[in-house]
Amino acid sequence: EVKAAWKEIAGDFIGANTEPVSVKEGHLVLRVTQPAVRFHLEQLKPELLKKIQSRFGKGKVKSIRFNLG
């Protein structure tokens, strides 16, 4: 569900440089292409989380983790 809508939620740049890996127990794990993008995403994390929660509800995703890969 989140995977299918990710690029629409995240936007073109973030969508092109990340990939949703899983949503388990309310934790969204994103694979990130570069360390610089990961740093940028850490700054945007509250905004991204708010967008996801407004679309899917607060219970679906409670936190976001970034993994380089």
pLDDT digits (tens, 9 = 90+) for 19-64: 999 999 999 999 999 999 999 999 999 999 999 999 999 899 999 9
- From the list 2, 55, 51, the residue with the least C-alpha distance to 30 is 2
pLDDT for residue 14: 93
How would you class 55 by CB atoms within 10 Å of its CB: exposed for 0-12, middle for 13-18, buried for 19 or more? middle
> Is 66 in a helix, a strand, or coil?
strand
pLDDT for residue 1: 85
Tell me: pLDDT of 65 over 90: yes
pLDDT for residue 61: 95
With vertex at residue 49, the alpha carbon angle to CA 43 and CA 52, rounded to the nearest 5 degrees, is: 140
pTM for this one?
Answer: 0.88
H/E stretch holding 60 reads none
